[in-house]
Chain A
Amino acid sequence: MKNNFLHEEPLIFEYPVSDNSAVDFDSPLGESENLGGIKRSNPIGLSSLSEPEVVRHYTRLSRQNYSIDTGLYPLGSCTMKHNPRLNEKMVRLKGFMDIHPFQPEKTIQGAYKAINLLSDWLIDLTGLPAVAMSPAAGAHGELCGLMCIRAAHEHNGENERKVVLVPESAHGTNPASASLCGYSVESIPCNSKGRVDLDALNNRLGDDIAAVMITNPNTCGLFETDALRISDAVHNAGAYFYMDGANFNAIVGRLTLKQLGVDAMHINLHKTFSTPHGGGGPGAGPTVLSESLAPFAPVPFVVKKNKNLFMVEHSGSNQSEFSIGRMKGFHGQFGVFVRALSYIMSLGADGLSQVSGDAVLNANYLRVRLSKYLTPFHNGTCMHEVLFDGSFLDGTGTRTIDFAKAMIDSGFHPPTMYFPLVVEGALLFEPTETESRQSLDELIDAVIKLAKKAMKKETPEFFENSPVNAPRLRLDETLAARKPILRWTPNPVLKAAE
């Protein structure tokens, strides 16, 4: 990767200052002002570049990124699948892009229709009767589900339920969301196979438990085969069953959640339904709800009356008597909805079950081909991601992180490392269904080559120094945290790279 065609790029603030701009304007329609004397008097300190300079700046920066478009991105738990460009074209239709959230309802019936269509399909795909569309991401959906759960308990006079149980293998957002909902969090152990320890769960269930949050398939890449027993036990104890839907890609189109006794689950549209991650977001986390939680769903939501669609915006109205209230400004992540809609329409019921089929097939192919060299956490079939522990590196002097960083020099993004926390030195690979046999084989060959190299124990420093062909060598994260420099200032402490 390191070559003369990859340029170092200064910060925009380090370019010479002028009065340049990349935007020309028409004259204002009048000359009067009405600011009441609160005018800005000091310069701001923004940059001053023309359009060619700006385009080059960002194009050069973009080339320092790894992305799905440039290569396989096997980050476990993140479902880095291809992002179809049709989705991007659809969201840019003027009728979707250029509509304001407070236009009169008769001018936005199409927007309501799009939201409704997506809701109907999410309901169909999960088998639960209702969906709250406004959560902005997975963690926001968790908060939504838990708030509905808390509202339901309070409605039933069960105010003493103050504890949420979360398995130790859970994503960090689960305990954080429970805590934001005012609950205390207790961890339940996993058994040796990485699944929820049913006995431990049963022992802890009681009338102080508000909800149990389970990721299924779990973060070890396994289906929770006790899912039905878990939900029965949870319900018998008077608690609600929250399922983290981050791994929905493994089962989409094959299994409805109603059968699993799920009361609430968020769906990451930016994972299973192919909307781009954009370097960190935005996502969307619509949350499906069981019949007992549906009345508590947040506003706003779209309802049908006669032939027209309209939006219930306030809690406490006839249709929203028990609603928990509003969780987000405006009407949810509409632009993400349109992309997900475009994806679901493209694949249909048949395509989506092929998606989960191929995703799980690709993960198992990796599992079988890599198991001779890496140490699989579990020997049987996995779901859409495959987990290895770090024991294949024991005695080699190479750590999990060094092994993963060496993959960068082979042209691949590393898998998720050191997660789930229950597995030492974890490497979690999620290839997704949008990788071809050829690209999987290339990944497998590269990983095997590295594993053999590590086994030889001759070159631990090769791994410690990896990557060497990326735009940067290993970065000093301790320095960054100890002396935080979080913005550019005119007198930088550190010198710009040459």
Chain B
Amino acid sequence: MRYLPLSNKDRESMLNTIGIESIDNLFDELPKSEVPQNLPKHKSELQVDRELSQIANENLPYTQVPSFLGAGNYCHYSPASLDYIIQRGEFLTSYTPYQPEISQGTLQVIFEFQTQVALITGMEIANASMYDGATACAEAISMASRINKRSKVLISGGLHPHYIDVSKTQLKHLGFDFKVLDPYVSGKEDLLNQIDTNLSCLVIQNPSFFGNIQDYTSIANECRYKGVLLIVVVTEPVSLGLIKSPGEMGADIVVGEGQSLAGPSNFGGPGLGFFASLQKYVRQMPGRLCGQTLDKDGKRGFVLTMSTREQHIRREKATSNICTNSGLIALAFSVHLTLLGESGFLELANINHKNAVELSIRLNNIPKIKVINSSFFNEFVVELPRSAGSVIDELTDLNILAGIPVSRFYPEHPHLSNLMLVTATEMNTKSHLDSFIDALNKVL
């Protein structure tokens, strides 16, 4: 068995040292048990590779066909050096950096990651990561309530439905009072009149789940005036290269999903929750924080800090129960942003937007199709003449991953059934757009 270095001779002599007969004797205190019934015996590396490759082959990778999928998970190109760096064993196979003298690599990466997240969101500080955008959103709501000691939560109809569901599940026993507005696909949602002094926080998403972008400055001002915290969710951080940042608009807490910059979809997980806020709220933040300090020689170094907020110190009074986070995905996100740099990040955002606009123009030229959004970044909603699910199904048979039926997320809102979410990124070529338009003309 290739992962087990002890030889039978080693085992025998070690048992001898311990003074027992067999390995089974080490388990004498355990009750007699049935052993697993169905699990096969061990397999060679080649055989595992064969069997898993066969299962993988039953999937259609989005990189093999024209693909226009988004809804909180975006398909971007990963530079080759990104995967090389995250596969270095010193990063991949290290634990949480609790021994800072021998973990400066991971710690400096976290410090750079925290800085990058703060910079692109326009916030003062950021933490070392959460599981994903949805759980980060729930944690942000909980943090807001610790800050202003209120429990009413207003959620925009433009927030990703998974984020709404996760927040409601995760916080259901903590006495929150949720008001979730209906999905808003177009026009402007009336938030201004719903901000009152009983409200703990308002949660909005920009670009929204339906792709709309909006300047929330006046809403942020109203929130500040009423002591309400504004939580801005970003599910496509590439957008921050082109649109005004949540910090510039006046957000108090910014959370989101970093997958889009961190690498391929992996069927949606593991993701990367990023979490940023104003400095004054730092003691209420969940999760790990990396800070700068000095060693005994006066050299700069980094450590995990302010851990009295965390479960391993504070136990039931901790700001969160999170321990394991998304370290490696945060590294990937950070490496990608470093590879892009300022100019590359702006350019990537620019290409995404222009490709999406080009696609929207071409779709709008099809008489039976209407683009709903008045403005957007790289994702928008189109209205089809019949159920989006059926159109997507037929396009799949023509080898096009066309978009996502909005109704998948809102079974309780059948009037949305003709709507399809469509995304274009730098991955899409002119020939992808041509095939998409041709196929639509064929099936409609």
Contact = CB atoms under 8 A, between A and B. Distances in A.
Mutual binders A and B: yes
A408 interface: yes
Contact of A177 (B168, B241, B321, B348): B321
Say which size band chain B's interface belongs to.
Answer: 35 or more
Contacts of A80: 93, 95
B344 A33 contact: no
B442 interface: no
Contacts of B165: 325-326
Contacts of A423: none
Contacts of A125: 36, 39
Interface stretch (B144-152, B193-201, B330-338): B330-338
B100 A472 contact: yes
Contact of B295 (A27, A45, A472): A472
Given A11-B111, A136-B135, A280 B128 contact: yes
B351 A25 contact: yes
B428 interface: yes
Given A11-B108, A113-B55, A328-B166, A360 B328 contact: no
Given A22-B339, A98-B75, A467-B101, 20 more contacts: A9-B108, A27-B351, A31-B354, A32-B361, A69-B90, A96-B59, A101-B269, A120-B38, A125-B36, A147-B169, A228-B31, A255-B27, A280-B327, A335-B270, A344-B39, A348-B42, A360-B27, A365-B14, A365-B17, A494-B293
B267 A96 contact: yes
11 contacts: A22-B81, A33-B354, A62-B90, A69-B89, A98-B61, A101-B73, A125-B36, A280-B95, A325-B165, A346-B45, A360-B26
B376 interface: yes
Interface in B289-316: 289-297, 299-303, 305-306, 308, 310-316
A427 interface: no
B49 interface: yes
A75 B98 CA distance: 10
Interface in B344-365: 344-348, 350-351, 353-355, 357-361
B311 A181 contact: no
Contacts of A107: 59-60, 396, 401
Most buried by B among A147, A278, A367: A278
Contact of A25 (B71, B347, B358): B347
A125 B355 CA distance: 49
A147 B3 CA distance: 37
A326 B42 contact: no
B213 A35 contact: yes
B308 to A, nearest CB: 8
B289 A124 contact: no
B282 A99 contact: no
Most buried by B among A38, A254, A347, A494: A38
A336 interface: yes
Say which size band chain A's interface belongs to.
Answer: 35 or more
Nearest to A9: B108
B224 interface: no
A260 interface: yes
A194 interface: no
Most buried by B among A26, A367, A419, A488: A488
A79 to B, nearest CB: 10
A475 B40 CA distance: 49
Contacts of B42: 346-348, 350-351
Contact of A223 (B29, B61, B330, B348): B29
B111 to A, nearest CB: 7
A425 interface: no
B35 A282 contact: no
Interface in B36-89: 36-43, 45, 48-49, 51-53, 55-64, 67, 69, 71-73, 75, 79, 81, 83-89
B133 interface: yes
A383 to B, nearest CB: 8
A324 B165 CA distance: 10
